[in-house]
Chains A and B, each alone.
Chain A
Amino acid sequence: MGLARCHVCGMSCESDGTDASARRCGRCGAPLHGVRGDRMGASWALLLAALICYVPANVMPVMYTQLLGRGSENTILQGVAEFWRSGSYGIALVIFVASVAVPCTKFMSLGLLLIGAQYKTPWKRRERAVLYRLVEVVGYWSMLDVLVVAVVAALVKFRALGDVEPRVGILFFGAVVILTMLSAMQFDPRLTWCGDDR
């Protein structure tokens, strides 16, 4: 294993030393590693933490709205339902995909990738590789809901006439997005290709 790709700058590097821990990229000086099987525990832990945060993120209100004297607190799903009832099906779908479908798919995908890597199974390797890239590309779109609450809360500041405030649910939801992104970063996609071919 003298040949390795630098994960920072992408340069192909060849080392002739035996001390694997001291190998560094010849261009940028970042440490070179083989497949990072040792990061799987961290990836699992972050995924689990995200899963735990997902419960309060859905149960607790994300936004408090007060308009013309009437105040109400909304959870994420209530927000989606409100759009759906008012006939904005497209927007309801966008928010549903970004804040429910994407996080749930991400939990399952990362779980599947981690289990596959753990058992070094040859099962559907190419598809699992595509799945990882999908998680990377789609993952951060879940931040959408947090940004919507931020913009709406900044806009609706009319004192007695109308006011919108963020509620604690959005904090947990943001934590879910960040933790799943960190979990995906800890997972080394090369693990998918470890083990025998059949």
Chain B
Amino acid sequence: MTTSTLPSLVICEHCDSVYHRAPLTRGQRARCALCGASLYRHSRASPETILALSIASAIVFLIANVYPVVEISLQGMANGATLWQAVLAMASGEAAPIAVPVALCVIIVPGLQIGLLGWISAYATAGRPAPGGIGIMRFLALLRPWSMIEVCVVGILVSIIKLWSLAHVSPGEGMWAVGALMVLLPLIAGRDLRVLWETFDARPSEPSSAP
């Protein structure tokens, strides 16, 4: 039995309708005529762009992890909270298991996404498929729904407002980094990683890519 790939066709993820892939111009998006789901977009990102954005995200991610995201002062006592301290604050007491998904959603998953996308795109920039690349790409698809940086940003803002009337609160250095990450991460770790998948296309050693 053989399986052949048909890159000229697009199958809708949500209803299995089949289309011929048509070239798009900048800003255009192909939608399924039956169910209305987005099929694919004109992709601006080249592997080089993804690599550059991954490096930028990595720097910002580091800042977001090291510096406090919020600072507070109450009757002369000052305190700051980093993302890790927020996770640790959940890890004590009766609700302790919730610390695990919190750590995953705001620190571990985004960190893995940045590192792995950097690895894949660095090799893609050099025109080679990355070692372990297919496994990593499949892992990235698994990670995507659990990356919640944007929810984290709103969570921090709500916390600031929640404590506003009780004490003097202000966003810390880390807050700006988390905000920047909220913009950068969706650009590289979005739904459509086609540009990176294409680096694994048409390998002569692939036995299953018959015509």
Contacts and interface: CB of A to CB of B under 8 A. Distances in A.
Given A28-B138, A147-B86, A23 B158 contact: no
A10 B13 contact: yes
A142 to B, nearest CB: 9
Contacts of A157: 79, 89
A103 to B, nearest CB: 14
Given A27-B197, A95-B158, A167 B72 contact: no
B208 to A, nearest CB: 4
Interface in A125-172: 125-126, 129-130, 132-133, 136, 140-141, 143-144, 146-158, 161-162, 165-171
A140 B151 contact: yes
A151 B197 contact: no
B159 A155 contact: yes
B197 A140 contact: no
Contacts, number: 224
B185 to A, nearest CB: 14
Interface string B179-207: 00000000000001010010011000010
Interface range, A side: 35 or more
B85 interface: yes
Given A144-B151, A148-B158, A154-B89, A193 B15 contact: yes
Contacts of B59: none
A22 B29 CA distance: 34
Contacts of A59: none
A167 B93 contact: yes
A126 B194 CA distance: 26
A11 interface: yes
A43 interface: no
Given A143-B105, A155-B70, A126 B5 contact: no
A161 B78 CA distance: 12
B162 to A, nearest CB: 6
Given A147-B102, A154-B88, A166-B89, A26 B11 contact: no
A81 B3 CA distance: 58
A157 B167 CA distance: 12
Interface string B60-84: 0000000001101011010111100
Given A8-B141, A155-B79, 10 more contacts: A8-B138, A15-B4, A26-B209, A27-B5, A28-B200, A144-B158, A150-B89, A166-B95, A171-B94, A193-B15
Interface of B: 1-7, 9-16, 18, 34-37, 69-70, 72, 74-75, 77, 79-82, 85-90, 92-98, 101-102, 105-106, 134, 137-138, 141, 145-146, 148, 151-152, 154-156, 158-159, 161-163, 165-167, 169, 192, 194, 197, 200-201, 206, 208-209
25 contacts: A10-B194, A10-B197, A12-B10, A14-B6, A15-B2, A19-B1, A24-B3, A26-B3, A27-B134, A27-B201, A28-B138, A126-B36, A129-B14, A148-B155, A150-B87, A150-B155, A151-B81, A152-B162, A153-B86, A154-B89, A157-B79, A165-B92, A166-B93, A166-B95, A170-B95
